[in-house]
Structure 1
């Protein structure tokens, strides 16, 4: 397929900062009190700060970010529904650690089990969902590891859906940031992640009320907080993946191996405060924005509108200056038929000639092959136009 290139300078003042982006690690005034930590921009994935970010460590219940991700993806695919009734197995009812004390044989909706994970970090609810989605926790864990590979979480191996201690169950701050970023793409999950207190009826007779209080206290105490997940065991110590959004800028901070619960929250705030004080996020284009048109050959339409498949943002330090350009790559012509959503091109954002973001361009609508009558009309119109 033959392509042409179209380049346009954006009216943005941005820096040429990408080759030296992170905070100076030698700065003793900015040391995070944890074994491992990272701060990333949600939209671009750019690393703003990291400390031992690839060290393999036990994540405790932060593991449940992947459990929630697979659950949300199963919902999106129509495999399960929020109102589905899940029968609690013996295995799920016997989970230790944090739980909501589900009884063997009782039923709970998928939505309530999700809420129990988001607020109480319930191990029994996690296993119940894992079994419902995959048939067994073992098969669900296999899916967790497969999804990890797809996300390029190269420091990770899961042995369960809960984060209960196991010598071969580990991940890194970097990998937690990756799966956190993926989870937060599901807007619906934020409805549960941002609940601070709620009640849930449990038991076969639904005669016991469990009061749920969000283990992530940043939801109550930090401006813009919208997730994500805490975790703690004697081996993992205190962990947290925290997300917060102010304006266009959304940040994800991960803390692993903090000595106390108080420290993990303080250090998370410290990372988030730094990000919001020093960076801005600029919107280049939103998902569905029309970028251009491509002529169609032998179609029931003469042209196809092309749109952005995803949002496009850039992260910039506050008070900096510079210039950016975008390059739009599209075919000179497309042959019908073309399905809605088909990838047909690419938008490339460049800083100083270096690519910093690439967004796929897709067909806005379906274009079918032209029928005989349609083709005849086009020929006649062409003849009349030439006259």
Structure 2
């Protein structure tokens, strides 16, 4: 059943943003960039704004290190390792080829320095040292990577090492890389600024961040480049303008400039032609619903997650919303967090957002008097 939420929600919109000059306009097609696979998403809503071959299995090269960092951050959060831990550099880490932060075998390096060396300098040696510190071997760490990938819903990914060096069994997709990138930004805001750091010095060697977006777009603050001969030139980018953040993944381009141009084209398209609004925060009351046979008559309800709408620019005044209750009559007992129905947002005639509506507090059964009273009221 639908509840009369529409006018209340629209009045809330009016408080958020003036409606003048907001007539709906058509949105042009997204640019088709020269890459094997790509995707562009709104970080807040998860809405896909552009994609091509986003589920094709591709080699990630150093984009693998996004997952490596995510796993390390989770280990820190769980208290199993610390940023101040001193890691003994193994010969395997020291000998790892490709991009390096130039750690030396037999020396002690802090987890924090290794993370910065991996994130900013793309150090393959740092990735191996971190993996060995967490799991003992890179093979065991790869199992941890795959477990986290499964938990994040990265159904088309398989990791075999922490740095992305070529392996026939190493693959992922543009969509899966977007998932782990958005999880990293959302779950670890205290560490994400490292991805926007322009340079890092270790062992008296200063190396710049390899991400070209940091120089070409002042709103860009991440994330990671990658390259091998087989993978081509890859780039996961993220930028924030006002309250809107976008994430782009570009894989398999032919040159460093091509991956930068493709990423900028996607990001600029997203910011230019779309806008994003948080309509309701998670677990905040948006309505009080009548409950029968409960200790109280009214139950506060709200969305289980943030209600965020990503819409074409100029279409704001065509938004509307309503509540859909699972049952016409709510009856106690009701547990806190129980799903009551859905918050549904529409743009014109199209549904664009549906978020579970939940009870924000417990509603036990009322006493005999309350039950008798409600039984009589239901008769009329």
Aligned partner of 1:133 in structure 2 is: 134
In 1, are the aligned partners of 2:343 and 2:357 still within 8 Å (CA)?
Answer: no
CA shift for structure 1 position 274: 0.8
Q: Deviations over 1:113-141 (max 9, x none)?
A: 22111100111211222222233221221
Matches within 5 A, 1:347-386: 347-351=342-346, 356-359=352-355
In 1, are the aligned partners of 2:62 and 2:165 still within 8 Å (CA)?
Answer: yes
SS of the counterpart of 1:64? helix
1:8 aligns with 2:9: no
For the residues of structure 1 that align with 2:207 and 2:80, how far apart are their CA atoms? Answer: 27
In 1, are the aligned partners of 2:303 and 2:356 still within 8 Å (CA)?
Answer: yes
Structure 1: which 5+ residue stretches go unaligned? 25-29, 201-207, 370-374, 380-387
CA shift for structure 1 position 292: 5.3
Aligned partner of 1:196 in structure 2 is: 198
For the residues of structure 1 that align with 2:303 and 2:71, how far apart are their CA atoms? Answer: 26
Q: Give the 3 Å change call, closer, same or farther, for CA 118–361 of structure 1 in structure 2.
A: farther
In 2, are the aligned partners of 1:15 and 1:317 still within 8 Å (CA)?
Answer: no
CA shift for structure 1 position 232: 0.6
Q: Give the 3 Å change call, closer, same or farther, for CA 21–50 of structure 1 in structure 2.
A: farther
CA shift for structure 1 position 150: 2.8
Matches within 5 A, 1:176-187: 176-186=177-187, 187=189
SS of the counterpart of 1:185? helix
- The range that moved more, 51-60 or 88-97, is 88-97
Q: Give the 3 Å change call, closer, same or farther, for CA 226–105 of structure 1 in structure 2.
A: same
In 1, are the aligned partners of 2:294 and 2:332 still within 8 Å (CA)?
Answer: no
Q: Give the 3 Å change call, closer, same or farther, for CA 8–302 of structure 1 in structure 2.
A: closer
Aligned partner of 2:45 in structure 1 is: 44
Q: Deviations over 1:71-127 (max 9, x none)?
A: 222223333222233232332222111111222332222222221111001112112
In 2, are the aligned partners of 1:236 and 1:256 still within 8 Å (CA)?
Answer: yes
CA shift for structure 1 position 7: 4.6
For the residues of structure 1 that align with 2:332 and 2:93, how far apart are their CA atoms? Answer: 53
Structure 2: which 5+ residue stretches go unaligned? 14-18, 370-380
SS of the counterpart of 1:184? helix
Q: Give the 3 Å change call, closer, same or farther, for CA 15–357 of structure 1 in structure 2.
A: farther
SS of the counterpart of 1:356? strand
Q: Give the 3 Å change call, closer, same or farther, for CA 106–171 of structure 1 in structure 2.
A: same
For the residues of structure 2 that align with 1:106 and 1:302, how far apart are their CA atoms? Answer: 68
TM-score (norm 2): 0.79
The number of aligned residues is 355
For the residues of structure 1 that align with 2:46 and 2:190, how far apart are their CA atoms? Answer: 21
Q: Give the 3 Å change call, closer, same or farther, for CA 337–252 of structure 1 in structure 2.
A: closer
- The range that moved more, 77-86 or 285-294, is 285-294
SS of the counterpart of 2:193? helix
1:248 aligns with 2:243: yes
1:289 aligns with 2:284: yes
Q: Deviations over 1:245-294 (max 9, x none)?
A: 11122111111111110111111101111111100001112345344568
Aligned partner of 2:372 in structure 1 is: none
SS of the counterpart of 1:275? helix
